[in-house]
Amino acid sequence: LTEEEKDFNFAVYDLGETPIEIAIEDAETFPFLGERKVIFLHNPTFLTSEKTKDKVDHDLSRFESYLQQPAPYTVMVVSAPYEKL
């Protein structure tokens, strides 16, 4: 992305604070002034087998649906530095 595109087409979501649905809505929105969007997802504790007390409820079926048919104009990066997924 160019510097100008980053202002409109780059987003970072902390999934410990933000529901996954918000990030998916952003991913499904067409890029503005560019051809691609880049979305980073941090702290996806719902991917681990550990029980956590998340502040947020996530609609995981929506996430699964998105993974099966991702937006072709969005690059979604999931950062999950956990020992077990």
Residue 77 pLDDT: 97
77: tokens are 């990066």
Question: Residue 33 carries which DSSP code?
Answer: S
- The pLDDT value recorded for residue 85 is 62
Sheet with 74-79: strands ordered across = 10-14, 37-42, 74-79
pLDDT tens per residue, range 56-85: 888 999 999 999 999 999 999 999 877 776
pLDDT at residue 22, rounded to an integer:
97
pLDDT tens digits for range 16-62:
999 999 999 999 999 998 899 999 999 998 888 777 676 888 899 99
Q: For the domain bounded by 3-79, which CATH number is listed?
A: 3.40.50.300
Tell me which H or E stretch contains 41: strand 37-42
The C-alpha angle with vertex 59 and arms to 23 and 9, in degrees rounded to 5, equals 10
